[in-house]
Amino acid sequence: MNKQGKAVILMMDSFGIGGAEDAAKFDDQGADTLGHIAAARGHLNLPNLAALGLFKAAEASTGKAPAAGAQGPALVSLPSKYGFMREISHGKDTSSGHWEMAGCPVQFDWGYFKPDYPSFPPELIEKICKEAGLPGILGDKAASGTAIIDELGEEHIKTGKPICYTSADSVFQIAAHEKHFGLDRLYKVCEIAFKYVKPYNIARVIARPFEGEKPGEFKRTKNRHDYSVTPPMPTLLDAIKNAGGQVISVGKISDIFAKQGITRAVKASGLTELWDTTLAEVKNAAPGSLIFTNFVDFDMAWGHRRDVEGYATGLEYFDTRLPELAALLGPNDIVFITADHGCDPTYKGTDHTREHVPVIMFGPQVKPAFLGGRDTYADLGQTAADFFGLEPLKYGKSFLKD
């Protein structure tokens, strides 16, 4: 394994840059997370991302430059490669996007629960409640996580029934109050649920703890935990770990990969804390390390909530932290910026959108290049494997030397 440098993946959860060719299959025609945020906002100041090629990548993806307006001075001047990537996985969900960029496309169909009440099969709920000692559940439908907590939080506190809901993703989500229900108890219920959803081919069970005493005050805490099935084949993370390198996950990356290939998992939440933690890990990591961060707020707090201004402000803040990262890079280090799917906050509904995602690679020794449209997210993983001197992954084409 080549241990001369380290690699960083900044995974901007849900940051699509234009509708994919197969968007109609997902009823997502016309979605464009970046383009529509820029148009709705009127101005989007991302000078560092622009200098690294983001807007050019978006224009290549859609045929039209984002209406972002004039940009301020860029403080990152490192050479970059830029383009966009297409997804070949069957879904537009978190697990599929992350696994594919690590070299493991999802070439099978996940199971899904129906959106209308009751979403869950009665026999499934009966098994979970019996083993967990629950008096029943609330919810039992597809819903926005923040909305359903406001709707049912008080009843949950009074009855002790957890709030169970799903979405367009392959998920079974359980929300419960940290104090009144108990965090450890919530995790135990999720472990039980994870066991019983396996026959339904569900990708994840998600614990959604919250606090507060009444609607308008309920707020989800940072103690979310995902129970995920394992990727069906070894990923980039496994390859690095098996070769003696370090794989440091920040945020929910470890949960998404079911801890497979992770040497150290660092918890963090919120855009500021995720950035602070990432910078600290990059500073301290040894050559031969991969630091992999999921910036979940773009998806969870703004994309699904259809909050255009929140998303735009988050993007601008993200951009301001890039110079700090650039200053920490050694001569042989590289950084990737990408996403796992779209979640256009101007689009109908509250679900993910099937989109192209950006792929940007920068660092002191990077040879500048326009990468065009890549055929799979797995090109990123293959490039990282090439960078570390590992055996080629099964999927993807490296652009390290392009």
Overall number of domains in the chain: 2
Q: Is 135 part of a structural domain of the chain?
A: yes
CA atoms within 13 A on the CB side of 340: 32
Question: What type of residue sits at position 170?
Answer: S
Residue 66 CB coordination number (10 Å):
23
- CATH number, domain containing residue 38: 3.40.720.10
- CATH number, domain containing residue 208: 3.30.70.1250
CA 147 to chain centre: 21
pLDDT at 168: 83
Q: Which helix (DSSP H) or strand (DSSP E) does residue 251 occupy?
A: none
pLDDT at 288: 97
Q: Report CA-CA distances (Å) from 367 to 2, 54, 80, 330.
A: 19, 16, 7, 16
Strands 289-295 and 246-250: parallel
Tokens of 103: 């070299």
Q: Is 1 part of a structural domain of the chain?
A: no
Give the residue ranges of the chain where pLDDT is below 50: none
- pLDDT tens, 340-361? 999 999 999 888 999 999 999 9
Q: Is 328 part of a structural domain of the chain?
A: yes
Tell which of 228, 245, 279 closes a domain.
228
The percentage of residues in the chain with a pLDDT greater than 90, rounded to a whole number, is 97
Same domain, 223 and 361: no
Same domain, 332 and 282: yes
Same domain, 245 and 200: no
Same domain, 41 and 132: no
Tell which of 194, 228, 262 closes a domain.
228
pLDDT at 306: 94
Same domain, 243 and 336: yes
Tokens of 134: 């629950």
Same domain, 66 and 131: no
pLDDT at 289: 98
Q: Is 397 part of a structural domain of the chain?
A: no
Could you give the CA distance from residue 116 to residue 202 in angstroms, rounded to a whole number?
17
pLDDT at 207: 98
Strand, coil or helix: 323: helix
pLDDT at 349: 86
Tell which of 176, 204, 228 closes a domain.
228
Host domain of residue 157? 122-228
Q: Is 394 part of a structural domain of the chain?
A: no
Q: What angle do CA 207, 259, 8 make, to 5 degrees?
A: 105
Q: Is 116 part of a structural domain of the chain?
A: no
Same domain, 170 and 301: no
Q: What angle do CA 359, 365, 367 make, to 5 degrees?
A: 55
